[in-house]
Structure 1
């Protein structure tokens, strides 16, 4: 059955697969909801978005996504509180960042009403898939890619915008051990590091696997010139606490403007935690680890929220971080997640209620 809302065409599934979902044992991003949103850019305009049953995508072998990598994405979550109400966290920031990425990758911007109305309609349709188990949420993946055909090295004439959702458990469990990278670079000045382009992540896989083979979980990325300054932690922004100061690198052409990162900085300021946004040298971190002033390090991103780092490796030496009873990371994560799950006041105005 197809129905039409204000700007969205909706085709519902005949039979839901929700009974097949084991909500008590959810891996991250491995099972999917009944529906997805699809919107096509063609002849210079975005066509009417449609919500359809979750299904494979058919593309011509000459589709430019396969050849020139015009692909971007976002990561969001929907949360359900104890009353069954559904909330998003700073969704307009995701929308704005998606279009910033689109501009850098020469992809046409998606209209805000298509993004927001499409997302809200999709969430209301698949609301039952939003888990209520502690630490679980509905992971939302909006993405855009070149679907136009041709081998010519130029922007495509057609694009797809899709939102797919996956009920998911925690992204990481426990602390991670990281290796400071000195050979490979995640991105470069003037490049696409600030965009959520698929190729940024593909380029990380090989050096990350090399680190895993050495017994680490992730890589700490450093600058592309001299590998002198700390930049990101795997696919996340990184925070470093030396004594009582919480530091993170400034955003740039190379570093993603993380929404969780921005939230942490604002919450830390509100909590009276001293913060610094500046270049952080590897030398400074190593020396702090040696003299005991390095208190904690953690990654920050939508998927994991905050992922504590238990230690790091650098030039064949491992440095362990202390076990803290009251870490900044744990404190900040609780404040963020309490806002996300509607368990506390939201003085920042970040929580967005999904209305029916």
Structure 2
């Protein structure tokens, strides 16, 4: 895996670049559609490839481990073959999902014992078997196993958790180095910075992670309920420490505005369920602001869903028609809005890249942030 920086912004930490793996190029900054269970909800792989033009998607170790189970994925030849996806895949380690099972899990130094959210059966995750599971899945980029702390979080707990995450990282690296790629393409391991919203812990964790000299670095434990200003502050602190020549991935973020603000702080990679989850509930994002397409005001609006959009659904369907589909509970409504929102997110990061190259990123960002705060 290589990462080459192509341009930087004089007035911020924003930069453009290209990550290259065995499954091709990932132009940064990039948003990764979330394909939790071997599918991006409501969207065909062909649409991801040809219309949304995603360079990389995200899968989740916890969910894929439970369904379809790793033996099925191994028999299929890995996740790429199973879901017929020819480009890059990143898998989360499952740490966040285990964190979200607060009533169903017990964390210890050895790992995490948890109950399946599907049937209540007991399971065990450790740094070692999470590495083994991600080897069987076959993602291009694998995430280290970590503990995601809640917000708010007591300082002493955040510190203990951070140090345990660091010890787990050592075990992840050892296991990763002792195992082989299974499907003919090279896999790569990213560590995760933790430390809640405490500057000193974030700096300490970022330095610890940076010293491991792995191909890329991630920031976890944000977008868990903290105010946006605190998220931005922690991102700023961490990107000052993480090496400039490695891609930086901010996990689980976020709104279109969050993407632009964090690109300005030096982030290269993002993922979030928001564009597809909101789409399934009738919320669409545009450069002029967000739209609740279920509202009565769109009943006789026969203009395109988004005249500035880059996907075919933006121009083939009117706002009135999509509202009608939601009114009659038609699944096509969720598909159309999911394609639109993912297309908008990918367009947004590509526009950001162009403005970084053109040298006017910060003025463009300010304008876009002001516009996207509107509710149309």
Regarding TM over 0.5, the answer is no
Q: More helix per residue: 1 or 2?
A: 2
What interval of TM-score do these two structures reach, taking the shorter chain for normalisation? under 0.3
What TM-score, normalized by structure 1, do the two folds share?
Answer: 0.25
